[in-house]
């Protein structure tokens, strides 16, 4: 019996797979004298057994497990099959049709944003889809007295995240203290978290700790002899944020502003890092405050708001007025803004606590 | 707005916003932060006997008030002064 030849069909007409032929595995290892052109093929076990096969061409062979689509890039003249004895193995040619991107189906449903600003539970409505979008915002860092601005909280966003009926939510608090090293609280949605922002620093120290954003450097009562770097931010990743499900994106990790060397101090600190940019640096004794880092802008709630902006550094006689030059300070409705540096015993506006925003969909 | 500190092995590991009625939904042991407890931040120690938080030592020369668990400078803070100079052991007022 000579080699049987098969010519695959064209692209149209037959949905799914074109059936070609079958063989009986009278032994566990069979060579099938079947030829074909390059294309996508499937070998399937009638008894749904596991097995393996090789499409053998001239000087080239492609191997695949049974039941999988193989992209055979060469012509072939036989198939070697390893499968349980007495099984039947069928060969199909995949008819690959043209497709287009399926736009976000959630867009066609009514959606509802839920802002959670206090810890507790998020309960998904019974009639809502089990896929939600989530934005987790860490608490803002505190500002140092007379100096560096606090960093904004970090942000973790989850898209089409698989929701359960009830999810524990923790809202990280704003930092109210004025100590170096500690910062805003960590916010959680289930086990996915967003780190808080670092506190602004004082006395030539840079912020330490594991925070999503660095705080600005603060300086008090001495003279710089060398430049001082701002606090270094920690950019969250899937390993630091447990954001491995859904489609996490991370916003934050920007450092605080740096201080140049060589000018008399007591003139204030630099800006805290924001979720969207570094804090402003300072290179002179200007009374103009150093800007905090930009926040992350999002229309998650239906309105563009800034989240996690860094606090301004203060001048020694002028406390920082808000979070940054972008006018998205503590009163624009966002969350997680860092506190500006304080000055002369006059406090700046407080930093903001974090939040968890959830948008769910009802068909 | 009520803040609670999460305590693990006597150390504050998070500070959260939470109502009294919802704190039971949170994992772990939480202590309400009040004027009596002192402020709390991540890394602070918690004394359960006194129900007070203790900040890290700010300067080497400062000593702890065992009753209030607040750190005190060698020289009482004068009105208007805002910063401590550890090198000169004195408070200074900004220019």
- Whether residues B1 and B16 share a domain: the answer is yes
Give pLDDT, residue A11.
42
Q: Two tokens at A103?
A: 């736009």
Of A121, A173, A316, the CB nearest to B15: A173
- Whether residues B17 and B49 share a domain: the answer is yes
- Whether residues B33 and B67 share a domain: the answer is no
CB environment B18-57: b (16+ within 10 A), e (fewer): beeebbeebeeebbebeeebbbbbbbbbbeeeeebbbbee
Closest CA in chain B for residue A122 = B25
pLDDT in tens, B20-38: 999 999 999 999 999 999 9
**Residues carrying CATH 2.60.120, chain A:** 3-94
Query: Cβ of B19 and A118 within 8 Å?
Result: yes
Low-confidence ranges of chain A (pLDDT < 50): 1, 9-15, 221, 241-245, 323, 325-330
Query: Is the pLDDT reported for residue B48 higher than 90?
Result: yes
Q: Is B37 on the interface with A (CB under 8 A)?
A: no
Give pLDDT, residue A278.
83
* Per-residue CA distances from A33 to A21, A24, A77, A196 (Å): 11, 13, 7, 66
Instruction: Supply the range of the domain harboring residue B13.
Output: 1-55
Query: Cβ of B14 and A344 within 8 Å?
Result: no
Give pLDDT, residue A316.
61
User: Residue A6's closest CA among A53, A38, A43?
Assistant: A38
Quote the number of domains for chain B.
2
Q: In Å, how far is A181's CA from the nearest CA of chain B?
A: 8
Q: What is the pTM of this model?
A: 0.72
- Whether residues B24 and B50 share a domain: the answer is yes
User: Residue A348's closest CA among A117, A138, A148, A137?
Assistant: A148
Residues of chain A with Cβ-Cβ distance to B1 below 8 Å are 118, 353
CATH topology of domain A3-94: Jelly Rolls (2.60.120)
Neighbours of B1 (CB within 10 A): 11
Give pLDDT, residue B84.
78
CA distance A197 to A96: 51
For A118-164, the three-class secondary structure string (H helix, E strand, C coil) is CEEEEECCCCCCCEEEEEEECCCCCCCECCCCCCCCCEEEEEEEECC
Residues of chain A with Cβ-Cβ distance to B25 below 8 Å are 119-121, 168
- Whether residues B36 and B77 share a domain: the answer is no
User: Is the Cα dihedral A316, A321, A325, A330 positive or negative?
Assistant: positive
- Whether residues B44 and B14 share a domain: the answer is yes
Q: In Å, how far is B89's CA from the nearest CA of chain A?
A: 13
Rounded to 5 degrees, φ, ψ at B91 are -85, 150
Of B16, B55, B95, the CB nearest to A316: B95
Give pLDDT, residue A260.
73
- Whether residues B64 and B78 share a domain: the answer is yes
Q: In Å, how far is A182's CA from the nearest CA of chain B?
A: 5
Query: Cβ of A171 and B18 within 8 Å?
Result: yes
Residues of chain A with Cβ-Cβ distance to B44 below 8 Å are 182
ipTM rounded to 2 decimals: 0.89
Closest CA in chain A for residue B53 = A177
Residues of chain B with Cβ-Cβ distance to A345 below 8 Å are 80, 82
Query: Cβ of A183 and B39 within 8 Å?
Result: no
Query: Cβ of A172 and B1 within 8 Å?
Result: no
Give the distance from CA A335 to its chain's centroid.
18
Residues within 8 A of A (CB atoms), B 56-85 only: 56, 58, 80, 82-83, 85
- Whether residues B51 and B66 share a domain: the answer is no
Which stretches does DSSP call E strand in chain B? Answer: 3-8, 11-17, 29-32, 45-47, 52-54, 63-64, 71-72, 83-85, 90-92
CA distance A272 to A309: 8
Give pLDDT, residue A325.
46
pLDDT in tens, A264-320: 555 567 778 888 888 877 776 555 667 888 888 888 888 888 888 888 777 665 555
* Per-residue CA distances from A43 to A29, A77, A183, B12 (Å): 14, 15, 59, 60
- Whether residues B42 and B74 share a domain: the answer is no
Residues of chain B with Cβ-Cβ distance to A121 below 8 Å are 22, 25
Contact between A184 and A174 (Cβ < 8 Å)? yes
Contact between A139 and A184 (Cβ < 8 Å)? yes
- Whether residues B40 and B81 share a domain: the answer is no
- Whether residues B13 and B42 share a domain: the answer is yes
Give pLDDT, residue B1.
73
- Whether residues B17 and B50 share a domain: the answer is yes
Give pLDDT, residue A243.
42
Q: In Å, how far is A72's CA from the nearest CA of chain B?
A: 54
């Amino acid at each position: 019996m000579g080699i049987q030849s098969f010519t695959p069909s064209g692209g149209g007409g037959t949905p799914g797979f074109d059936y070609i032929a079958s063989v009986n595995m009278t032994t566990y290892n069979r060579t099938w004298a079947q030829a074909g052109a390059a294309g996508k093929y499937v070998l399937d076990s009638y008894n749904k057994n596991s097995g393996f096969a090789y499409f053998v061409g001239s000087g080239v062979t492609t191997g695949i497990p049974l039941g999988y689509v193989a992209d055979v890039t060469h012509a072939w003249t036989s198939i070697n099959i390893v499968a349980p004895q007495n099984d039947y193995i069928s060969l199909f040619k995949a008819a690959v049709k043209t497709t287009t991107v399926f736009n976000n189906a959630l867009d066609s449903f009514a959606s509802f944003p839920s802002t959670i600003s206090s810890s507790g539970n998020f309960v998904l409505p019974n009639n809502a889809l089990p896929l939600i979008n989530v934005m987790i915002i860490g608490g803002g860092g505190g500002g140092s007295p007379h100096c560096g601005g606090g960093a904004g909280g970090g942000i973790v966003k989850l898209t089409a995240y698989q929701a359960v009926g009830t999810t524990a939510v923790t809202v990280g608090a704003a930092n109210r203290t004025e100590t170096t090293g500690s910062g805003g609280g960590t916010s959680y949605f289930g086990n996915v978290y967003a780190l808080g922002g670092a506190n602004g620093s004082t006395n030539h120290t840079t912020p330490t700790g594991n925070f999503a954003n660095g705080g600005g450097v603060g300086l008090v009562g001495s003279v710089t002899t060398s430049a001082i770097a701002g606090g270094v931010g920690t950019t969250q990743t899937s390993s630091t944020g447990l954001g491995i499900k859904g489609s996490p994106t991370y916003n934050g990790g920007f450092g605080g502003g740096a201080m140049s060397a060589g000018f008399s101090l007591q003139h204030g600190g630099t800006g805290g890092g924001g979720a969207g940019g570094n804090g402003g640096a300072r290179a002179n004794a200007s009374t103009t405050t150093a800007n905090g880092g930009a926040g992350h802008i999002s229309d998650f709630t239906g309105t563009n708001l800034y989240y996690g902006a860094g606090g301004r550094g203060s001048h020694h006689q002028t406390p920082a007025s808000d979070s940054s030059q972008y006018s998205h300070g503590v009163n624009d409705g966002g969350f997680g803004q860092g506190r500006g540096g304080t000055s002369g015993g006059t406090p700046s506006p407080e930093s903001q606590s974090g939040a968890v925003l959830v948008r769910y969909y009802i068909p | 707005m009520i803040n609670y500190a999460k305590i693990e092995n006597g150390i504050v590991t998070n500070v959260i916003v939470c109502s009294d009625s919802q704190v039971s939904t949170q994992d772990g042991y939480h202590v309400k932060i009040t004027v009596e407890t002192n402020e709390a931040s991540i890394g602070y120690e918690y004394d359960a006997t006194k129900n007070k938080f203790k900040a890290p030592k700010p300067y080497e020369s400062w000593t702890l008030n065992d009753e209030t668990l607040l750190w005190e400078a060698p020289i009482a803070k004068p009105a208007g002064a805002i910063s401590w100079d550890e090198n000169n052991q004195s408070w200074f007022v900004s220019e």
